[in-house]
């Protein structure tokens, strides 16, 4: 999708701001930041012992740190094909260092790490006989549901948009199938799905606006990154000046909310029947994941 006679930046900005205002109004009136779940819901599991839950949550947190650390510190770096802001064209780029953490993939994976760290802290405090602070009881379910919705978005965009688009343009996609990319693009959904099955936390309707706010935060970052830091949009479709940008932004933010509904549905099914929840989580993960590099024909 190209550029029109007039840049759509102002239109995209107004739409995004309206989305943000409505999301914040919904959050402020929903009571999501005022009502906490119980310590047993957040810190324990009816499926596995507390020790196993604690080990799983902290192991996931360590996996996130190791993966993002490798991305940021690997001296070999990687190559990508961003859209250059001034030139308005896609060009190859070699990128090394912490700037590689600027992509939404890394943002959402970091959020997953924060989610597991906070919920893991709840389990550790509970196992030690302490009282879990209320802010942890409030934030843990919100962080979990936002992370899971974002993970589904990342995996779907990679599998169904970025990989096919790159193949259609004759661009290599091998960079998307390194071990750390597979962990962040596919392992993300698997980890969150397993966590949903063993969690005692409930996903509530009142959390639906948090994934969109997280998405809007990244939208703002992408604009700053393109204008003032690296001069590129890591994702070509994130250029807010393009002819269809307002609809693209509306679609992406709406998808965040839609994927939250998917997480909510999975949670309800798992509460009703653990075997049914397991089957649905496995089916979703299998359907949207892509762990092998497709041929470029």
Domains held by the chain: number: 1
Q: Does residue 273 have a pLDDT over 80? A: yes
Phi, psi angles (nearest 5°) of residue 80: -145, -175
Residue 108 covered by a domain:
yes
Q: What is the pLDDT of residues 54-79, one digit of tens each?
A: 999 999 999 999 999 999 999 999 99
Residue by residue, DSSP assigns 37-56 as PPHHHHH--SSS-HHHHHHH
State which residues form the domain around 215. Answer: 38-221+249-288
Is 29 a member of any domain? Answer: no
Residue 97 covered by a domain: yes
Q: What is the pLDDT of residue 297?
A: 54
Angle at which helix 245-272 crosses helix 188-198, to 10 degrees, equals 40
Asked if pLDDT for residue 216 goes beyond 80, the answer is yes
Q: How confident is the model at residue 296 (pLDDT cuts 50, 70, 90)?
A: low
- In a domain, residue 171? The reply is yes
pLDDT by residue (tens digit) across 28-38?
A: 999 999 989 99
Q: Does residue 239 fall inside a structural domain?
A: no
DSSP 247-276: HHHHHHHHHHHHHHHHHHHHHHHHHH-HHH
Taking only the tens place, the pLDDT of each residue in 223-259 is: 999 999 999 999 999 999 999 999 999 999 999 999 9
Q: Are 214 and 27 in contact (CB under 8 A)?
A: no
pLDDT for 95 beyond 80: yes
Characterise 190 by phi-psi region: left (phi > 0), alpha (psi -120 to 50), beta (else): alpha
What are the C-alpha distances in Å from 98 to residues 91, 284, 295?
20, 32, 31
- Euclidean distance between the first and final Cα of the chain, in Å? 24
Confirm if 50 and 126 have CB atoms less than 8 A apart. yes
Please tell me the predicted confidence (pLDDT) of residue 129: 96
Q: Does pLDDT of 202 surpass 70?
A: yes
Q: Which ranges constitute the DSSP H helices of the chain?
A: 9-30, 39-43, 50-73, 104-127, 134-157, 163-168, 179-182, 188-198, 209-224, 245-272, 274-288
Rounded to 10°, the helix 245-272/209-224 angle is: 140
Note whether 280 and 45 are within 8 A (CB). Answer: no
CA atoms within 13 A on the CB side of 253: 27
d(CA 149, CA 111): 11
Number of other residues whose CB lies within 10 A of the CB of residue 37: 16
| pTM recorded for the entire structure | 0.96
Asked if the structure places residue 127 within a domain, the reply is yes
In a domain, 69, yes or no: yes
Q: Report if residue 63 sits inside a domain.
A: yes
Query: Is pLDDT at 89 greater than 60 in this prediction?
Result: yes
CA atoms of 191 and 59, how far apart (whole Å): 11
pLDDT band at 4 (very low <50, low <70, confident <90, very high): confident
Tens-place pLDDT, residues 103-160: 999 999 999 999 999 999 999 999 999 999 999 999 999 999 999 999 999 999 999 9
DSSP-assigned beta bridge partners for residue 89: 84
């Amino acid at each position: 999708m190209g550029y029109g006679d007039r840049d759509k930046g102002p239109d995209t900005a107004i739409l995004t701001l309206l989305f943000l205002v409505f999301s914040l109004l919904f959050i402020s009136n929903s009571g999501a930041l005022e009502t906490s779940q119980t310590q047993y819901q957040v810190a324990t599991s009816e499926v596995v012992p507390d020790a196993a839950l604690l080990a799983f949550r902290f192991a996931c947190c360590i996996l996130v740190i190791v993966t993002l650390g490798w991305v940021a510190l690997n001296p070999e770096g990687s190559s990508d094909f961003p859209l250059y802001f001034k030139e308005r064209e896609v060009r190859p780029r070699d990128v090394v260092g912490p700037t590689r953490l600027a992509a939404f993939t890394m943002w959402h994976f970091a959020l997953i790490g924060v989610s597991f760290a906070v919920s893991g802290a709840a389990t550790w405090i509970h196992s030690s006989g302490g009282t879990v602070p209320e802010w942890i009881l409030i934030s843990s379910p919100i962080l979990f549901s936002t992370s899971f919705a974002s993970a589904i978005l990342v995996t779907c965009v990679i599998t169904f948009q970025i990989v096919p688009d790159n193949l259609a343009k004759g661009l290599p996609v091998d960079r998307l199938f390194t071990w750390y990319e597979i962990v962040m693009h596919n392992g993300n959904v698997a980890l969150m799905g397993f966590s949903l099955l063993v969690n005692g936390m409930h996903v509530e309707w009142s959390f639906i606006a948090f994934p969109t706010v997280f998405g809007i935060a990244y939208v703002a970052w992408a604009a700053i990154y393109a204008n003032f830091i690296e001069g590129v949009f890591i994702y070509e479709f994130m250029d807010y000046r393009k002819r269809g940008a307002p609809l693209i932004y509306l679609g992406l933010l709406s998808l965040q909310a839609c994927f939250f509904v998917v997480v909510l549905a999975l949670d309800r099914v798992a509460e009703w029947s653990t075997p049914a929840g397991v089957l649905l989580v496995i089916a979703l993960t299998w359907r949207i994941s892509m762990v092998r590099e497709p041929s470029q024909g």
